[in-house]
Amino acid sequence: MSAKANHSPHRLSEKAFFESSGSALKDPKLRRNFKRAMNGLMEKRRDIFPDASELEETRGRAGGIRRKTLAYFPELLEKLEANCESNGIRVHWAETTEQANQIVLEIARSTNTRLAVKGKSMVSEEMHLNAFLEKHDIEAIESDLGEYIIQVVNELPSHIIMPAIHKNLEEISQLFQEKVDPNRSSESAEEMTATARLILRQKFHDADMGISGVNFAVAETGTLCLVENEGNGRFSTTLPKVHVAVMGIEKVVESLQDLPPLLKMLTRSATGQPITTYFNMISGPRREGELDGPEEVHLVLLDHGRSKIYEDELLRETLLCIRCGACMNHCPVYTRIGGHAYNAVYPGPIGKILTPQIEGIESVGYLANASSLCGACVEVCPVKIPITDILLRLRRNRVRKKNARHWTDLNGGKSLMELMTWKGWKQVLSQPSLYRTQASLLSRIGNLLPAQIPVLRQWARSRSLPRFSKKPLHRLVEEAGIDHE
């Protein structure tokens, strides 16, 4: 099996998004898979939060803890670093994903690592770490079952919690037959899980290095916390002689007492579980006299644009995220197009606010437009990130950026047309008499507008065109003699 990931990380363009979302919408199997999975996740979350006022209180608390953390962000990072170091965890800092990859590679080289087993980590996806290590002849095996499945077929995760959610049993069964082990029966989830257990236990046994993410890093004690159900995270961080944890800098929290409310909100919001099977708290490598545990533990703190995001008071709230995935489970867009359509590491609402901020508003700002602003994500976010407000801000920033440059730079005439549209709109709607003349005109001829006008044609694919009233309201009001002042 090969771990190569030949996906270009830079398929991020509006055109590519239209193509990929368009083909996702035309794929009935994919849509069925997502619908079923997301319905299940929404139901589980609903069931575990039966009391609305208690939920509000807990969201307030979890959000409060994350906000407090960000208020003391640099101080807490320094404290985390100091306490990790005094626990024997070696701390590395990276501004870019390239630097982070390089750090992991150097550790791998200094420890003669040939095989690394990985626990699930979205930051390592940000880094495209597997492909990087592969290029340097280091095999990196994903050990979370979902991640393992998609690695086998060389795909990217389609969901941040459930990476293989886009595939149904039949598809996974087929790939186990073809690519994992043709000699073992792969009909049921149980059989395939058993096969993966067998293969991956051997990998855990053989691996020189374990790579993991971090869910929370406690500054006061220098403790790295991992949340998981399978035990692969524990294997990756316990059995190999080297453990490298990669972490986005925003994952720091102040104290151990911050953990219970955050853990509670994370597992409940993500999968509707009161708690996961394992909550793994790592505060150092094997100590003198201990019989197991890694001999070296490294923590790679990755910035990748986060300190820039931190500069703005509203945009900063993006960094509150604890990566539960509830926003995507409840998003009417995500649940229809699925995670791959975004062509980005983080799909769904959190991806729409995070990706443009990391990759650049000019090139990826279109993602912020791909939302109906319905606010379902805001309603379920366990730390109350004002996602729709951030989307609005990003849209505005994008327009500002374009105003400052040239409207025809991007997307050819399309952007220019958008600018002209809003300029015209403003001209009409800010002048009462002009507006009334236009409105009356529309009520007379609006219904005769040819459906071939591009905007109308698109709309008309799935909907009949709206019909204008015979007389606009302001005329009816005049005729009825309604007071005007």
Partner 1 sequence: MNESASSRSRILKRLHGIHSQSRFADHPEITEPQSPSWTTEEKISRLKSMMESVHSEIHCCSERDFDTVFRKVADEKSIASLLYAKNTQLGSRIHSLKQSTPEKMPELVNYDVTIETMKKRIFSIDASITETLGGIAETGSLILWPSRDEPRLMSLIPPIHLAVLQAEKIYNTFSEAIDEGRWAEKGMPTNALLISGPSKTADIEQTLVYGVHGPKQLVVFIIQ
Partner 2 sequence: MKPSCSFPEKPEAVYYFGTCLADLLYADAGMAGIRLLQREGVRVIYPRGQSCCGQPAFNSGFQDEAREVAAQQIVQFPKNLPIVIPSGSCGAMMTRHYEELFQGHPLHEKAQSFSARIFELSEFLVNVLNVKLEDRGDPVKVTWHSSCHAKREYGLGDEAKQLLRQLKNVELVELERENECCGFGGTFSVKFPAISGVMAQDKSADVMQTGADLLLSTDCGCLMNINGALEKQKSQVQSQHFASFIWNRTHVS
* Residues in touch with partner 2 (CB under 8 A): 18, 21-22, 25, 332-333, 336-337, 369-376, 378-379, 388, 392, 394-399, 418, 422-423, 425-426, 428-432, 435-436, 439, 442-443, 446, 455, 458-459, 461-478, 480, 482-485
263 binds, among partner 1, partner 2, none (CB under 5 to 8 A by kind): partner 1
455 binds, among partner 1, partner 2, none (CB under 5 to 8 A by kind): partner 2
Nearer to partner 1, 325 or 472 (CB): 325
Distance CA(447)–CA(468), nearest Å, equals 6
Distance CA(106)–CA(96), nearest Å, equals 16
CB of 392 to partner 2, least distance (A): 7
25 binds, among partner 1, partner 2, none (CB under 5 to 8 A by kind): partner 2
Longest dimension (CA), the chain: 93
Nearer to partner 1, 66 or 352 (CB): 66
Nearest to 7 by CA among 342, 303, 232: 342
Cβ atoms of residues 243 and 297 within 8 Å: yes
3-state secondary structure of 204: helix
CB of 100 to partner 1, least distance (A): 9
Residue whose tokens read 């994350």: 66
Cβ atoms of residues 166 and 285 within 8 Å: no
Nearer to partner 1, 193 or 427 (CB): 193
CB of 402 to partner 1, least distance (A): 26
210 binds, among partner 1, partner 2, none (CB under 5 to 8 A by kind): none
CB of 129 to partner 1, least distance (A): 17
Distance CA(129)–CA(155), nearest Å, equals 14
Nearer to partner 2, 100 or 364 (CB): 364
Backbone φ, ψ for residue 279 (5° rounding): -120, 110
Nearest to 70 by CA among 349, 413, 315, 421: 315
Nearer to partner 2, 11 or 336 (CB): 336
9 binds, among partner 1, partner 2, none (CB under 5 to 8 A by kind): none
Q: Edge-to-edge, what's the strand order for the sheet holding 115-118?
A: 89-94, 296-302, 242-248, 209-212, 115-118, 139-142
Nearer to partner 1, 136 or 406 (CB): 136
Nearer to partner 1, 245 or 263 (CB): 263
Nearer to partner 1, 278 or 435 (CB): 278
477 binds, among partner 1, partner 2, none (CB under 5 to 8 A by kind): partner 2
167 binds, among partner 1, partner 2, none (CB under 5 to 8 A by kind): partner 1
CB of 405 to partner 2, least distance (A): 15
433's CB contacts (< 8 A; 6+ apart) are none
Nearer to partner 1, 200 or 370 (CB): 200
Cβ atoms of residues 204 and 117 within 8 Å: yes
Nearer to partner 1, 148 or 366 (CB): 148
CB of 302 to partner 1, least distance (A): 9
Nearer to partner 2, 82 or 476 (CB): 476
405's CB contacts (< 8 A; 6+ apart) are 362
CB of 178 to partner 1, least distance (A): 16
CB of 349 to partner 1, least distance (A): 21
16 binds, among partner 2, partner 1, none (CB under 5 to 8 A by kind): none
Distance CA(134)–CA(389), nearest Å, equals 40
Question: Torsion angle of alpha carbons 119, 125, 131, 132, nearest 10°?
Answer: -100
446 binds, among partner 1, partner 2, none (CB under 5 to 8 A by kind): partner 2
Distance CA(133)–CA(141), nearest Å, equals 10
Exposure of 25 by Cβ count < 10 A (0-12 exposed, 13-18 middle, 19+ buried)? middle
Cβ atoms of residues 318 and 385 within 8 Å: yes
CA 134-136-139 angle, 5° bins: 40
Cβ atoms of residues 232 and 264 within 8 Å: no
386 binds, among partner 2, partner 1, none (CB under 5 to 8 A by kind): none
Distance CA(293)–CA(235), nearest Å, equals 10
As given in the structure block, the two tokens for residue 153 are 């077929």
CB of 355 to partner 1, least distance (A): 20
Give the number of other Cβ atoms within 10 Å of residue 167's Cβ: 22
CB of 391 to partner 1, least distance (A): 21
CB of 307 to partner 1, least distance (A): 4
467 binds, among partner 1, partner 2, none (CB under 5 to 8 A by kind): partner 2
Distance CA(150)–CA(153), nearest Å, equals 5
